[in-house]
Each structure stands twice: as structure tokens, then as C-alpha cells.
Chain A
Amino acid sequence: MVPLSWYIALSASLFVIGLYGVLSRRNVLIVLMCLELMLSAVNINLVAFSFFLSHLGGQIFAIFVITVTAAEVAVALAIVIAYVRHKGSLKIDEISIMKG
């Protein structure tokens, strides 16, 4: 039996790695990918607590998180495509004006 603290430790380390990517990378697509990584790390936490407390709420919340993530990625990639078509740049420090 794997102890609960191992799952939470793994989740915390994945979250921190993703956070570092979000804060430091310059390519906006990789920033979005690191955001996905952080959301997945949170999902591990939810599912682990759902298993150890024998309560289904965690799994259901994880399903909702996955669904909202899919929606978020679709909209974010649409924004990126529209922006790149307009300005021709993927650098996140140059995306400071969203007005078309």
C-alpha cells in the first residue's frame, strides 16, 4: 500500500515544476503546457484523497477539472492563433496589448 503522503509529495513536486515553467519560459505555448501540468498535479491530489477517504467527490471534481481544462486549452490556443496571425510573435513578454 502506497502511503497518502507519497502521492501528495509527487503532486507538490509536479506542481512546483509546472509553476517554474509558467514563471520562466518565454514561449507562450510552453507556458500553456506547464499550466496543464499544474492542473494535472492538482488532479492527482484530488484522486488520492478520494481513494484514501473512500469518497467519490474527489474523482468527480477531477472529472470536472479535466473538462474545464479541455475548454480552457481550446480557447487559449484560439487566442494564440489569432494573436500570432495578427502580430507574428509567440514571446510572452511581447504580449502586453490584447487590443486588435
Chain B
Amino acid sequence: MEQAFFLLFASIAVASACGVVLLKNPVHSAVALIACFIQIAALYILLHSPFLAAVQLFVYVGAIMVLFIFVIMMLEIRQATLERFLPGSKYISLAFSVVLGSAMLWLLFSSPLLSQIPPPTPSATQGSVSELGQALFTQYLLPFEVVSIVLLVALVGAIFMTHKGNG
């Protein structure tokens, strides 16, 4: 049952990822990427991490992709969509990606260590929001604060760069 759901989500995710790369109109690419992110959120629920699934939906679909679609609609894109691919490098990069992907999959399925990982014993509290919050605010407090400063700097930088006088 779980495997059937995994295969469903994974196939939709891979198909929409191919759509992101191959579609001509950037708006269509953005919508395909939204579909892919929703499938990834579903996979997080299969992995017993509902908080991360919610964060994925809120941040990626709710904030990042809306920002992308906003920018696509704000900019004049007609001339940029005439040619999809960089001239000359299409087949080289395809060959490079295929070689890298097959190397990764070969390493994955030939590795003896991966099958030695015992199957997890799902407990009631594993991956729960309270456990995650406790770890985030005790053991990982310093990176948490640093990340908030990173967000603040990005906010100020984005406002500064899009300000009219600095174009």
C-alpha cells in the first residue's frame, strides 16, 4: 500500500520535473514545479515528518513559487522564450547529466552498506512537532539564530536591489 503511494507520488514528481525542464512557457514550468513540490510534500508525510511537509507547502508553494510567478508576470518574457536551450551546449549537458545520474544510481544499488540499515521502528513521538521544536531550540539554537539573521540580510538586500534609485 505504502509502496503504491510512493510509486504514484514519485512518478508524478519525476514527470512534472521533466515538465519544468522541457516546457517552453516559464509560467507552465512554474506550475509544473508547484506540482512537483506538492508530490515532495506528500513524500514527507510518507516519511512521518508532517511538520516538514507543511513547511514545504507553505514556503515553497506558498511563498517561493508565488514570487516566481509574480516576477514572470512582471517582466517582459516574450523574447527570452523564443529559444529554450543554450546554443551548442544542449547535448553536452544532456550527456553529462545522464552519465552523472547513472553513476549515482550504480553507486546506490551496488553499495552493500545501504541494505544493512535496519528498518526503523516508528514510535508515536518520532518526528513529531514537539520533539522537533525541542531539538531546534536547545541543541540547534545557534544555527537557528544565524538563519534568522540570514533571512533579515536577504530581506534588506532584496529591497535595496529592487529600489528604483539603485537600478
Contact = CB atoms under 8 A, between A and B. Distances in A.
Interface string B124-163: 0011000110011000100100010011011101110110
A73 B136 contact: no
Contact of A60 (B6, B98, B120, B132): B132
Interface residues of A, number: 74
A25 B167 contact: no
A96 interface: no
Given A4-B117, A47-B52, A37 B162 contact: no
6 contacts: A5-B115, A17-B18, A56-B131, A71-B153, A81-B74, A90-B75
Contact of B80 (A1, A12, A74, A89): A89
Contact of A74 (B29, B60, B67): B67
A2 B2 contact: yes
Given A14-B13, A74-B155, 20 more contacts: A5-B114, A8-B114, A12-B105, A16-B97, A17-B20, A27-B77, A29-B77, A36-B33, A40-B36, A44-B40, A47-B47, A54-B126, A60-B136, A66-B60, A73-B64, A77-B68, A78-B162, A81-B161, A81-B162, A93-B87
Contacts of B80: 26-28, 89-91
Nearest to B17: A17
A100 B161 CA distance: 12
A7 B49 CA distance: 14
Contact of A6 (B10, B63, B127): B10
Contacts, number: 233
8 closest residue pairs by CB, A with B: A71-B154, A23-B93, A16-B101, A90-B80, A21-B21, A78-B158, A20-B97, A78-B161
